[in-house]
Amino acid sequence: MIPRVRGIRSVEIDVASVKAASDFYRNVWKLTEVASPGATCFRGTAAYHHIIGLHPPGAEGPAIRSVVFDVADAAQLHALHAKVKAAIPNVEAPHALGGAAGGFGFGFKDSEARNFILLTEARDHGGASTPVADHPHKVTHINLNAADYARTADFLVEILGFRLIDESGRARFLHADCPDHFSVAVVNARNATLNHIAFDMLDIDSVMRGAGRMIDNGYPIEWGVGRHGPGNNVFAYFAGPEELPLEYTTEVLQIDDSYVPRGPDHWKFPPGRSDQWGITQPQTKRLARIQELFRFTADGHRT
**What is the Rg, in whole angstroms, of the alpha carbon atoms belonging to the chain?**
18
Instruction: Give the count of residues interacting with Fe ion (CB under 5 A).
Output: 2
Q: Which of residues 79-138 bind Fe ion (CB under 5 A)?
A: none
Separation CA 270–CA 302 (nearest Å): 45
Name the minimum Å distance from CB 142 to Fe ion: 8
DSSP class per residue in 283-302? PPHHHHHHTT---B-SSTT-
Min CB(201)–Fe ion separation in Å: 12
Contacting range for Fe ion; rule: CB under 5 A; set: 21-29, 32-40, 85-93, 243-251: 243-251
* Minimum separation from the CB atom of position 71 to Fe ion (A): 23
**Toward Fe ion, which CB reaches closer, 120 or 250?**
250
CB 183 within 8 Å of CB 176: yes
Nearer to Fe ion, 222 or 247 (CB): 247
Compute the least distance from the CB of residue 237 to Fe ion, in Å.
8
Closer to Fe ion by Cβ: residue 242 or 247: 247
Distance CA 144, CA 197 (A): 9
Residue of closest CB approach to Fe ion? 198
Give me the sheet containing 194-200, strands edge to edge.
163-167, 171-175, 184-188, 139-146, 194-200, 245-250, 234-239, 223-227
Among 242, 247, 251, 275, binds Fe ion (CB under 5 A): 247
Return the residue of 144, 198, 207, 239 that touches Fe ion, per CB under 5 A.
198
Instruction: Name the residue nearer to Fe ion (CB basis): 62 or 226.
Output: 226
**Closer by beta carbon to Fe ion, 36 or else 274:** 274
Query: How far does the chain reach from its first CA to its final CA, in angstroms?
Result: 28
Distance CA 142, CA 127 (A): 26
CB 221 within 8 A of CB 214: yes
Q: 272 CB contacts (<8 Å, ≥6 apart)?
A: none
Question: Cβ closer to Fe ion: 106 or 162?
Answer: 162
Least spacing, CB of residue 196 vs Fe ion, in Å: 6
Give residues in contact with Fe ion (CB under 5 A).
198, 247
